[in-house]
Amino acid sequence: AADTFHIISTNSNDGRAISEPTAQTIIKGPKDAFTENINKNIFLIRKRIRNTALRVESLTIGEVTHTNIKLVYIDGIAKAEILNDIRSRLQKIQIDCVLDTNYIEEIAKLNKYSIFPTVINSEKPDSVSAAILEGRVAIVVDGSPFVITAPTFMLEFLQASEDYYHEFILSSFMRLIRYTAVILTLLVPALFVTVTTFHQEIIPATLLINIAAQREGVPFPAFFEVLLLEFTFEILREAGIRMPRAVGSAISIVGALVLGEAAVEAGLISAAVVIVISITAISSFVITNYAMYNAIRLLRFAFLFLAGALGIYGISMGLIILCLHLCTLKSAGLPYLMPSSLGNKAINRDGIVRFPLWKMKYRPAGISADKKPRVNEEAMSNPDIKGQAEIKQ
């Protein structure tokens, strides 16, 4: 009609160009990453999921900033209960500003005082798209290069997007390496203090003599040795992060080598403690998710204090409390340890190890509302070569 007018916004703020991810380094797989522009981020998701069932809901949070928030999911695959839970939590947020995804994550978190992350922040569009295809919900925040996906379970924090770009045997092996690295990172310093302080009888005689010889002249007990070197390493790690990238890595590596060698020569610490902390530090770098890495770091100090005070009984008590705490956590209303349940075969086939793609037939039952098979397992595992068209030279 002649009296109808349309107001269309034509302004454009391109911002930073799409580049490689910086927080999630990869060798094989897509190398594009999200940016601070929410429209670009939605485009990167739509580019991978070309389906009319893909839904993008808009919310505005922040009484001052009026930050644009997008809920991205696939209608018919995302479970209505999970979607409603996430939507209601976002609508209840009353704050003056939202400048990053962490504002949403911290406020909407059910267990607010837990150090464990209950959602995944990813800057990789392929990881977010894969999560959406499983039935999860993505939360895109304007101004943040990271996208939240929920619900998320504990085992998924030790998985990497590259697990699906390599053969399943290699991917499963790398996952087992990560789980082993978490155990080493968490318990090696505490076990060293426990064994050398309270339970020397379990150490072989030759090794015990060597450790005692190294500790001759050291003024501190094993607990303070480990604690001192742990704090020193954390200071070096923080300095390496805050310094410019070209200088930071050199400071961390050179500083650790120089300080460690100088401390041993000065008789402040023993060589065995340097080896223990080195194993712990190297193992910690294997953890793929930075939020989970920080949680394990804090727990390492807690176990160290328990070991210094109570020995093996302190470590056992700490493990029991940790397991009980993990059992109480929830992500978008679902148990945090859900993949550990033996009843959900779809999750267990992509949990501790990764099954072949043709074996991952269904979406996770607790997450997705779609019960249809994702793949034709019989056709993929036993291809009928005779029925295929012949390739002519």
219 prior amide bond cis, ω within 30? no
Which residues make Cβ contacts (< 8 Å) with residue 14, sequence separation at least 6? Answer: 37
The predicted pLDDT at position 267 comes to 77
Does 348 have pLDDT greater than 80? no
Tokens matching residue 275: 């080896």
pLDDT in tens, 179-218: 999 999 999 999 999 998 888 888 888 888 887 887 777 7
Does 47 have pLDDT greater than 80? yes
The band of 387, judged by pLDDT with boundaries at 50, 70 and 90, is very low
Tokens matching residue 279: 């194993």
Q: Which of the listed ranges 23-37, 115-129, 328-342 does the model predict with the highest average pLDDT?
A: 115-129
The predicted pLDDT at position 386 comes to 46
pLDDT in tens, 57-76: 999 998 999 999 999 999 98
The predicted pLDDT at position 176 comes to 92
Checking 58-64 for CB contacts under 8 A at 24+ apart, the result is: 59/90, 59/91, 61/90, 61/93, 61/95, 61/98, 61/104, 62/95, 62/96, 62/97, 62/98, 63/94, 63/95, 63/96, 64/96, 64/97
pLDDT in tens, 258-313: 777 787 777 788 888 888 888 998 898 888 888 999 999 999 999 999 999 999 99
Q: Which residue has the higher pLDDT, 16 or 70?
A: 70
Q: Over 73-123, what HEC string results?
A: EECCCECHHHHHHHHHHHHCCCCCCCCCHHHHHHHHCCCCCCCCCCCEEEC
Strand 54-61: give its sheet, edge to edge: 54-61, 67-74, 137-141, 147-150, 120-122
β-strands 67-74, 137-141: how paired? Answer: antiparallel
The predicted pLDDT at position 385 comes to 46
State percent of the chain over pLDDT 90.
31
Q: Which residue has the higher pLDDT, 42 or 222?
A: 42
Q: Which residue has the higher pLDDT, 346 or 102?
A: 102
The predicted pLDDT at position 381 comes to 59
Q: Cα–Cα–Cα angle for 340, 328, 84, nearest 5°?
A: 90
The predicted pLDDT at position 359 comes to 78
Does 252 have pLDDT greater than 80? no
The predicted pLDDT at position 393 comes to 45
The predicted pLDDT at position 345 comes to 57
Mean pLDDT of the chain: 84
The 3-state DSSP composition of the chain as helix, strand, coil percent (nearest 5) reads 50, 10, 40
Distance set, CA 16 to CA 36, 41, 141, 144, 245 (Å): 7, 12, 16, 12, 19
Does 81 have pLDDT greater than 80? yes
Distance set, CA 39 to CA 46, 61, 135 (Å): 10, 17, 22
The predicted pLDDT at position 45 comes to 94
The region that residue 234 occupies, defined by phi over 0 for left and psi between -120 and 50 for alpha, beta otherwise, is: alpha
- Helix axis angle, 290-310 relative to 168-197, nearest 10°? 30
CA–CA distance, 42 with 384 (Å, rounded to integer): 39
